[in-house]
Structure 1
């Protein structure tokens, strides 16, 4: 099962899949009339810097793809964000981040403030995944009827409501989340899903594919519907679609040892690496 062994090429593919979906997402938001979120995408050697004037959260103001070859770019990167009065975070991936690069980040006033896990798999048919999993059972499987449906065009507000309520964002965030995801609906590579529990829309998930790579970019379950198997079913639906689209690798991110991490393992995904987030001490 899986068939992909750890290698430097695999690490680069996993990171590339994340950079690709984030770049496409930010370009779509940037393309809204008048670029209301003030999105910019900048390249610094091999690294990609994402910035948003109106979205201060780290996910929209981060640098991905950093490697030893970009160690001398750190000063320019920091200046780019300082000019925009925005704190920036760097992501350092094992095997790509050298001691010299990490030293340069430290000298620039950054410290390792957290970690995040990247998972991967070769998408297979569901029957093959189940066979490879043996007798493992889903600990979050619950009673009731669960169904997965592709999001319909008029349901983006519903998606945004689940997105915000499941992740702890305020209700005021629903309209902008809807607007920034509506530009992805129907865009090549993007697919949104809703998970229903006993007929109630209770969870959402997103898939992005480009070339032979698939990314499970987002999934969240409303608090009152957790531990009922919705997250795992959303994973299965996206793996199935990635397989149907002929993807050779699928990747996703999660907090280490979280329920999402466990569900990804049960679905046949493996640990690719745990990347480090670097934040400025005075940020």
Structure 2
């Protein structure tokens, strides 16, 4: 299976929607006691949880370069909440211009995150070497679990 930009965009949007769903569930707890907010800036999604410090949930995903001054707007979003910004930059959005914009904003690469994937076929579904692991498609009702 060869990765294409469309497939990479699909994976990125799938991760964004999963993350958004998780944060919306946290937001519903005790009238948003954790301070969950999601800002959208063009193709970028800025996730913020004021009362969970650290980079796990306070992160930007998607295309942070989809419109002019997006990075500045995102950084303002986090500054207003007194949360440090962290960008998860997917490879399809990285180029000399976008990396220079991040550098100019005082940001730098600090680690990597990988998304693993494979195309399921009939042989794989329901069959694994380890009896504790089952591979199957989930239905929409199970997505939030």
Offset at 1:69? 1.6
2:80 to 64, 80, 83: 83
Structure 1 alignment gaps of length 5 or more: 131-137, 148-232, 247-283
Secondary structure of 1:106's aligned partner: helix
Deviations along 1:186-215, whole A, 9 cap, x unmatched? Answer: xxxxxxxxxxxxxxxxxxxxxxxxxxxxxx
CA shift digits 1:20-55 (9 cap, x unpaired): 100011111112232110100110111000001110
Task: State how far apart, in whole Å, the 2-side matches of 1:124 and 1:56 are.
Answer: 40
- TM-superposed CA distance for 1:71, in Å, is 5.4
Distance in 1, Cα, partners of 2:94 & 2:64: 5
Pair member with larger Rg: 1
Which residue of structure 2 aligns with residue 129 of structure 1?
A: 124
Structure with more strand by fraction: 1
The corresponding residue for 1:98 is: 95
CA contact (8 A) 1:66 1:97 kept: no
Q: 1:64 aligns with which of 50, 61, 66?
A: 61
Q: Please give the alpha-carbon distance, in whole angstroms, between the structure 2 residues aligned to 1:118 and 1:71.
A: 28
Are 1:49 and 2:38 matched, yes or no? no
Whole-angstrom distance in 1 between the partners of 2:33 and 2:118 = 37
TM-score normalised over the length of structure 1: 0.45
Aligned residue for 2:143?
none
Q: 1:13 aligns with which of 10, 31, 34?
A: 10
Q: 1:122 Cα shift?
A: 2.0
Once residues 22 and 139 of structure 2 are traced to their aligned partners in structure 1, the CA distance between those partners, rounded to angstroms, is 20
- Could you give the per-residue CA deviations for residues 88-130 of structure 1, whole angstroms, max 9, x where no partner exists? 10011112222211111100000100111111122334xx139
**Aligned-residue offset at 1:80:** 1.0
The whole-number CA distance in structure 2 between the counterparts of 1:71 and 1:99 is: 16
What secondary structure sits across from 1:56 in the alignment?
A: coil
Task: Kindly tell me the number of residue pairs found equivalent between the two proteins.
Answer: 138
Bigger RCO of structures 1 and 2 (CA < 8 A, at least 6 apart) = 1
Counterpart mapping for 1:51-200 below 5 A = 51-70=48-67, 72-125=69-122, 128-129=123-124, 147=132
Alpha-carbon separation, structure 2, partners of 1:95 and 1:24: 24
Listed as ranges, the matches of 1:17-36 within 5 Å are 17-36=14-33
Task: For 2:139 and 2:24, locate their aligned partners in 1 and report how far apart those are by CA, in whole Å.
Answer: 23
- 1:86 offset after TM fit, Å? 0.9
Unaligned runs of 5+ in 2: 141-145
The structure with the greater share of residues assigned to helix is 1
Q: Contact between 1:68 and 1:100, CA under 8 Å: does it hold in 2? A: no
Please identify runs of 4+ aligned residues in structure 1 that moved more than 4 A: none
**2:41 touches 2:64 (CA, 8 Å); kept in 1?**
no
